[in-house]
Amino acid sequence: MTWRELRAEVERELARAGVGPVETEARYMLERASGYDAAEWFEIADAAPPALAERKLRDMVRRRVAGEPLQYVLGGWGFRGLDLFVDPRVLIPRPETEWVVEVALEEAARVGLRRTRRRLSLVEAHVPAAVADIGTGSGAIAIALAAELPDVEVWATDVSEDGLAVARANVAGCAATRVRLAEPGAWFDPLPARLRGSLRLIVSNPPYIAEHEVSDLPDEVAAYEPRGALVSGPSGTEAIEVLLERAPEWLAPGAALVCEIAPHQAGAMTELGRSLGYETVMVRDDLTGRARVLVARTG
């Protein structure tokens, strides 16, 4: 059997299982199993796949057909140009969160941090400004901030030890030496006390789904992604409330908390931010016009 024939078989199996878009998913899996990308396909199309690669591909198809998300099956996913390792210990990084990072970078520029995009390096000097990613999961936000803000060190926390193991693998894989992964712990608790009042930016994509909303989630999400990364509590806003209440203790004057929210939470969370004494509280729309990013600036 050639790669071309195997590809046709994979596409038939995915189509039969109603998984798709078939051609795109088959291409991702073939790239991962063969080690060749789409541009190199014609170099291998008529060759026989090595037994190990074929076994790997068939295993991926079996898991995908059983309903596992494509990203876990592939064992990796892209986030702002980074290739991150993901598995069911962490939330799959979403495009919405790429936009949260974009807003955070605008806030970073506002507070005077230099923004450039460059390769992360294994050898990097100590840098004085600190920012934090609270609830880091795969490390997506923290590593993206380190990649795009060359003069900061990024502290990352998570309550999940399993999640932090994935973040650790990604930090090492991306050579993100300016990312400091704190010991497992709730919200700000694992941060060193010396950072109090000094963070120039706090970014978070906390769990914000209410318990009663879980039944509305797609099966793929509810069955495979970690519940602790998705569900906040009865109202869905519990985690955002903690962040709004506790961030001022850690933020420098004039700094900002940037937090992903669901659109229906925008009004209540803006009001809470104002009542807590933030100087400016606003909600930024994403590219589809949905209110998705809460920005709360200290005075």
Ligand X SMILES: C[S@@+](CC[C@H](N)C(=O)[O-])C[C@H]1O[C@@H](n2cnc3c(N)ncnc32)[C@H](O)[C@@H]1O
Rule CB under 6 A: which residues touch ligand X? Answer: 90-91, 93, 97, 135-138, 140-141, 157-160, 163, 186-187, 205-207, 228-229
Least Cα distance to 73 among 10, 135, 136 occurs for 10
Give how far the C-alpha of residue 261 lies from the chain's centroid of Cα atoms, to the nearest Å.
14
Q: Which is nearer to ligand X, 88 or 254 (CB)?
A: 88
Q: Which is nearer to ligand X, 10 or 259 (CB)?
A: 259
Q: Which is nearer to ligand X, 53 or 156 (CB)?
A: 156
What would the DSSP string read from start to end of 224-261?
HS-HHHHEEESSS-HHHHHHHHHHHHHEEEEEEEEEE-
Q: Which is nearer to ligand X, 163 or 248 (CB)?
A: 163
CB of 286 to ligand X, least distance (A): 14
**Which residues does residue 281 pair with via DSSP β-bridges, in sequence order?**
296
Phi, psi of 282 (to 5 degrees): -145, 160
Cα–Cα distance, 91 to 260 (Å, whole number): 14
Q: Based on the number of CB atoms within 10 Å of its own CB, is 230 exposed (0-12), middle (13-18) or buried (19 or more)?
A: middle
Q: Which is nearer to ligand X, 4 or 168 (CB)?
A: 168
Phi, psi of 267 (to 5 degrees): -60, -50
Q: Which is nearer to ligand X, 6 or 108 (CB)?
A: 108
Cα dihedral sign for 297, 281, 203, 186?
positive
CB of 243 to ligand X, least distance (A): 10
Phi, psi of 204 (to 5 degrees): -155, 145
Q: Which is nearer to ligand X, 45 or 172 (CB)?
A: 172
CB of 263 to ligand X, least distance (A): 16
CB of 84 to ligand X, least distance (A): 9
CB of 226 to ligand X, least distance (A): 6
Contacts of residue 9, defined as CB under 8 A and 6 or more positions apart, other chains included, come to: none
CB of 7 to ligand X, least distance (A): 31
CB of 1 to ligand X, least distance (A): 38
Cα–Cα distance, 146 to 120 (Å, whole number): 8
